[in-house]
Chains A and B, each alone.
Chain A
């Protein structure tokens, strides 16, 4: 029998060997964090502290936002072993559609849901081709890439860049949560939210550990558990401290947070989430277990295209305009974020929380290189290289564990 010989609760294991085992098991995840820290320090040194300045971190968050939401949707698609290459131009096109509506004086609170709805429609169309007709996702969305690129060129053909003047819309990717009335130099609300977040993290971690202990599952030893909580708390406080030094928490961060929460909840707490992992792990087994694989696939495509629409809204808002080249290369960044975040190339494995960190890695690179004034041609090469490196690393480490 090949059952591993781990004890269910390890009381007597020395911390050194536990750490060793922990690192071995989670090497991919740690590698991603190490890469992120390395990137942060590297650019901070080269830019004389500009990279980690309050202003740039706020900027980085806004910049990461439109890729992060896209990457969350892409993660679902990659988990069920499909791919969506069209998301970039779907985002660009629907962002332009939103801009046109706004230019014609439509209410922003109507435009946003309408744009998201168009995203769902695009996704249902592509999902239908993949799930019901049986066209490979690669082909369907490659075609979609061309189609929506064409649509984007069409709608921006007459006017070129479409300027958005609506204040609410522009605030989505440029605005910040307002401060409480009695704030001084520092952004008090931001600090409060940070402290609240730390408390929530501590409570939920302890509860999770206790419940696992109750069922005799293997948990980390107490010293390691405490250092993990400490580490997480320090990171959160550090980030809010930096943000509080500028204008606080960007609205984009709130939107990404909400999307992340919903998708994380869906993947880990609902049946739909289970089915998605099941289809990725073994779609025939899922089908025979009564899962309607076609419908779930349709859902995943509808979902990624809706998030592409959201990505388009964020991007258009950020530039305060829709441009004929919007969305170029988004799909690569989204796919790269997912893989860096640990989605398996073989499907069935992946977490949206890690995908967000993956997106942060990719966008930190872009942001840092921009700060340093690296030519865009080199930037492409670097991003492509990081992408393929991440996947190669994934294949290699996973191969060993099997």
Chain B
């Protein structure tokens, strides 16, 4: 047996329009804890999906050598069969079933064709001991905290005789104690011979437990650092995660002095009754007139939750404290309708999921949020509607043969422009853009930045939530950085650097030069 349990060679994975992985080489030694880090979109999760067979053999190029043999996984079942298990951020447990049912779900303990439940419980208890979880295996999953569920997931993996355990941001949803407990468990598993790959955004943890750290950036391996012998600093990791110059893809804007504060969020504290967690803690932010404010942070930092809770609170969170002040007036925004009335518009990060009505055409989607403006008596004026849609099509350059084009048939960039057109038509005073350039090509990105510049020059305020650091740095007058539901920093546009933002987003205490 060679030293490496896994070697991925020259992995290339393309999605329509994007090369997500560009010749990635990745080696994992037997019995180590190997941390995989990188910005959002660097390709970490895609790489793990290639490994697990979610992206089956044939949809990528390159080789996977596992236990000295080339593997051609066609599904998750194939990778599990040789002892690879992946635990995702969104846990895959069934809440209404008990712990033991969940652990053996899909590989039940049977005698002949009949399940032996007693034996199942005995074995489940053993597995729980291995992950140091001291609870009754008959408990239902829904009664466990997120941290404990995570441990059940690991127990489930162990029950399948896992040799290589992959964890995708295992501590993202955990509190300090649970996180520490989990990390200790990983070290213990390592001593029992389980190799572990961990994707994490929390560099403190990475530094604490990693034997090797691999940094991915833009779908390529930047470096693999041996952390066993030499101590790697968080700053060194960050440098590798970002290290590149800002290219000139951000259009210049005539600098204007931002006006008075237009929107203010004070002491905003929000509790999510579904996950039973406080998701936003005491947020204080403000936005001036004619200003682009960026909100940076890593996945799960609570940025979208912040936007949604302000914009009429559609997910029905419990807002336990705080107030919204728009243009000097305290507002209660109970429904998106109220928010729109107050002059706020929100362009969602998920245009297909909750942004556009894909089976309808461009003009329908352009007008839907402000039909009042087109209504005379009770009748919608079709001609006016068409004219409005055509005007926006022209002014923000939506590429389509006519405004009667079904939106579902447009490219991502053009869909995003329709989404923006819809919200410009409500003539907002403040525009919240959530990941405005996600999944669209460079040309369309530039156009969207240009539109943003034009809008703030006209006196609109923009809040831009983005996971792309460069975009935040290139476009924002001011940046708030969020981490785990709190604002962890505020930087002026000119003083912000990638290192500083990343340090705050990963909560590194001292700021490097």
Residues of A that sit less than 8 Å from B by CB: 1-4, 6-8, 211, 215-218, 269-271, 274, 277-278, 281-282, 284-292, 348-349, 402
Contacts and interface: CB of A to CB of B under 8 A. Distances in A.
Interface string B358-373: 1110001001110110
Contacts of B375: 270-271
Contacts of B383: 211
A8 B386 CA distance: 15
B443 to A, nearest CB: 11
Contacts of A292: 335, 337
B372 A288 contact: no
B454 to A, nearest CB: 23
A24 to B, nearest CB: 15
Given A217-B402, A271-B372, A282-B356, A288 B409 contact: no
Contacts of B303: none
Nearest to B341: A290
Contact of B380 (A1, A271, A286): A271
A285 B357 contact: yes
B447 to A, nearest CB: 14
Contacts of A289: 336, 368-369, 422
Interface in B237-253: none
A282 B380 contact: no
B512 interface: no
A270 B410 contact: no
Given A269-B379, A274-B380, A288-B354, A3 B311 contact: no
A289 to B, nearest CB: 4
A3 B409 contact: yes
Interface in B308-336: 311-312, 314, 335-336
Contacts of B379: 269-270
Given A218-B404, A288-B314, 20 more contacts: A1-B410, A3-B399, A211-B383, A216-B402, A217-B402, A271-B380, A274-B371, A274-B380, A278-B357, A281-B360, A284-B354, A288-B355, A289-B336, A289-B368, A290-B335, A290-B336, A290-B339, A290-B340, A291-B337, A292-B337
27 contacts: A1-B414, A3-B401, A3-B409, A3-B410, A3-B411, A7-B401, A8-B401, A8-B402, A216-B402, A217-B402, A270-B379, A271-B378, A274-B367, A274-B368, A274-B380, A277-B364, A281-B357, A284-B314, A284-B353, A285-B354, A287-B354, A288-B348, A288-B355, A289-B422, A291-B368, A292-B337, A348-B359
A6 B406 CA distance: 13
Given A281-B359, A290-B337, A292-B337, A218 B402 contact: yes
B401 A4 contact: yes
Contacts of A7: 401
Nearest to A277: B360
Contacts of B422: 289
B200 to A, nearest CB: 31
A215 B410 contact: no
A270 B372 CA distance: 10
A149 B507 CA distance: 64
A217 B362 CA distance: 13
A349 B369 contact: no
A219 to B, nearest CB: 11
Nearest to B383: A211
B284 interface: no
A215 B402 CA distance: 9
A215 B386 CA distance: 8
B224 interface: no
B400 interface: yes
Interface string B381-416: 011001000100000000111101100111100100
A278 B360 contact: yes
B380 A269 contact: yes
Contacts of B399: 1, 3
B449 interface: no
Contact of A286 (B346, B358, B368, B410): B368
B359 to A, nearest CB: 5
A1 B357 contact: no
A3 B398 CA distance: 11
B380 to A, nearest CB: 6
B229 to A, nearest CB: 51
Contacts of B401: 3-4, 6-8
* B348, B360, B364, B409 interface centre (most CB from chain A within 10 Å): B360
A285 B360 CA distance: 12
A7 B355 CA distance: 28
Interface string B49-92: 00000000000000000000000000000000000000000000
B317 to A, nearest CB: 15
B164 to A, nearest CB: 38
Contacts of A4: 401, 405, 409
A6 B312 CA distance: 40
A276 B399 CA distance: 28
B307 to A, nearest CB: 11
Nearest to A211: B383
Which one of A274, A281, A284, A285 has the greatest number of beta carbons of chain B within 10 Å? Answer: A285
A216 B379 CA distance: 23
Nearest to B352: A282
Contacts of B405: 3-4
Interface in B24-66: none
A284 B311 CA distance: 13
Contacts of A217: 402, 404
A262 to B, nearest CB: 12
A271 B380 CA distance: 7
Interface string B275-312: 00000000000000000000000000000000000011
Could you say which of A277, A281, A292 has the most chain B C-beta atoms within 10 Å of its C-beta? A281
A2 B364 CA distance: 19
A286 B371 contact: no
A288 B402 contact: no
A278 B380 CA distance: 15
A6 to B, nearest CB: 7
B151 to A, nearest CB: 33
A292 B340 CA distance: 13
A287 B336 contact: yes
A352 to B, nearest CB: 17
A282 B404 contact: no
A44 B86 CA distance: 66
A123 to B, nearest CB: 21
A179 B18 CA distance: 72
B120 to A, nearest CB: 33
Contacts of A1: 399, 410-411, 414
A305 B371 CA distance: 28
Contact of A288 (B346, B380, B404, B408): B346
Nearest to A347: B359
The residue in A4, A215, A270 that gathers the most chain B C-beta atoms within 10 A of its C-beta is A215
Contact of B409 (A2, A270, A286): A2
B106 to A, nearest CB: 29
A355 to B, nearest CB: 18
A289 B360 CA distance: 14
Instruction: Count chain B CB atoms within 10 A of each CB in A7, A211, A291, A292 and give the residue with the most.
Output: A291
A211 B383 CA distance: 9
Given A1-B411, A4-B409, A290-B337, A270 B380 contact: yes
The listed residue with most A CB atoms (<10 A of its CB), out of B311, B368, B409, B410, is B368
A69 to B, nearest CB: 22
Q: Which of A271, A286, A288, A289 has the most CB of B within 10 A?
A: A289
A215 B369 CA distance: 23
Contacts of A6: 401
